[in-house]
Amino acid sequence: MIKKISILLFLSISLSYGCKEDEKKTENERENWWLWTASWNPNDEQISVGGTQDTLRIFSSKTYKLVKAFPMEGTITKTKWHPFKNQLAIAMQGEKSKSLIFNPKSKESIQLDSLDEFGVRAIGWNKMGELLAVGDYSGSLNIYDESGKIIKKINTKQKGLIGLDWHPEKNIVVAVGEKISVYNFDKDSIFDIKPRKEEVLMLCIDWHPSGEFFVTGDYGDFEKDFPPLLQFWSANGDNIKNIEKSKAEFRNIKWSNDGEILATASEFLGLWNKDGDLIKQSKSENLIWGIDWNKSNSRIVTTDGKGKILIWDKELNKIKELQY
């Protein structure tokens, strides 16, 4: 019972912050239309978007028009395209939701078993796409093959896992929650990193394409005046740099494919270089939740807490708002 209460409080804190006082609904705004995730597919042809609206939406990258909308039961917290195939790994949360592998063309879906009943936010394929990692709200890191069969279930001893990412070359996955867990699939070994003196919820992690380091973004704690941090880490888990620049949590982060620029989603869209210097930013009227680059590093897609989907160029000029 104590564990269940702890998880529910954990989820409540994570969900509720999207409705901070300065983001309350006006007459013409959507409320609770949180679009959690946006993901460009590897061939640059489509963009997947999901959130609280019980719908997976696929947009064309050429016309920026809605191609298809697929009903889903529950909140879509993350979508990740397979590196080579036309299929998505979809993380879901909600009482009746099931995380799954989904093919938008054939509509074939494979439900992922052995996950926590409260749901999932952390999901991702390894480089070759033969392994899928899923971190759930019980703190389990679950490894599946590409057919959806579970291979390993690792207890990270965290209250819940919120984000994860595979090393760009090796079968090493980093998962974050209240700490950082680094799991080596080939060696079946794991070690932890305590990211801060304060206890804060970590939300996102992204390996640099070189594999030499990774970056994490967290929630901070506004009641205790702990600011959100971007943190740079070596592949061995040594802290390289801590950056305090945002007044809101870092919901998602993503390196460009060439590794030159890190894009971050918070109260502003931020672009950072490899040294952690902020080189460009654009203030957002709503908290940004989802973020991703296209293949050529020329466009960024963002989603926010009021249902907006925006396309930007690398100079942070707004190109298009997607309609649906």
**Per-residue buried b or exposed e for 180-204, using 16+ beta carbons within 10 Å of the residue's own CB:** bbbbebeeeebeebebbeeebbbbb
With cut-offs at 50, 70 and 90, classify the pLDDT of residue 40: very high
CA atoms within 13 A on the CB side of 120: 31
pLDDT(5) > 70: no
In the chain, pLDDT over 70 holds for what percent of residues? Answer: 90
Q: How far is CA 22 from CA 17, 25, 153, 286, 295, in A?
A: 11, 9, 41, 9, 35
Q: Which residue has the tokens 């697929």?
A: 70
Note the pLDDT of residue 96: 84
Q: How far is CA 124 from CA 3, 145, 197, in A?
A: 26, 12, 28
Q: Which of 128-132, 202-206, 221-225 has the lowest mean pLDDT?
A: 221-225
For range 1-19, the mean pLDDT: 42
pLDDT(25) > 50: no
Q: Which residue has the tokens 């396309």?
A: 311
Mean per-residue pLDDT of the chain: 92
- Asked whether 283 and 237 are in contact (CB, 8 A), the reply is no
Q: How far apart are the C-alpha atoms of 321 and 65, rounded to whole Å?
A: 10
For range 43-72, the mean pLDDT: 97
Q: Which of 23-37, 78-92, 203-217, 239-253 has the lowest mean pLDDT?
A: 23-37
Note the pLDDT of residue 95: 83
Q: Which of 43, 41, 94, 45 is nearest to 72 (CA)?
A: 94
Q: How far apart are the C-alpha atoms of 106 and 281, rounded to whole Å?
A: 40
Q: How far is CA 81 from CA 46, 138, 237, 254, 255, in A?
A: 10, 24, 27, 14, 16
For range 8-29, the mean pLDDT: 42
Q: What is the 3-state secondary structure (H, E, C) of the chain?
A: CHHHHHHHHHHHHHHHHHHCHHHCCCCCCCCCECCCEEEECCCCCEEEEECCCCEEEEEECCCCCEEEEEECCCEEEEEEECCCCCCEEEEEECCCCCCEEECCCCCCEEECCCCCCCEEEEEEECCCCCEEEEEECCCEEEEEECCCCEEEEEECCCCCCCEEEECCCCCEEEEECCCEEEEECCCCEEEEECCCCCCCCEEEEEECCCCCEEEEEECCECCCCECCCEEEEECCCCEEEEECCCCCCCCEEEECCCCCCEEEECCEEEEECCCCCEEEEEECCCCEEEEEECCCCCEEEEEECECCEEEEECCCCEEEECCC
pLDDT(223) > 70: yes
pLDDT in tens, 236-256: 999 999 999 999 999 999 999
pLDDT in tens, 144-163: 999 999 999 999 999 999 99
pLDDT(298) > 70: yes
For range 266-272, the mean pLDDT: 98
With cut-offs at 50, 70 and 90, classify the pLDDT of residue 29: low
Angle made by CA atoms 31, 289, 244, in degrees to the nearest 5: 120
pLDDT(139) > 70: yes
| 25 or 232, higher pLDDT | 232
pLDDT(134) > 80: yes
For range 141-146, the mean pLDDT: 98
Note the pLDDT of residue 23: 36
Q: What is the largest CA-CA distance in the chain?
A: 55
CB count in 10 Å sphere of residue 47: 27
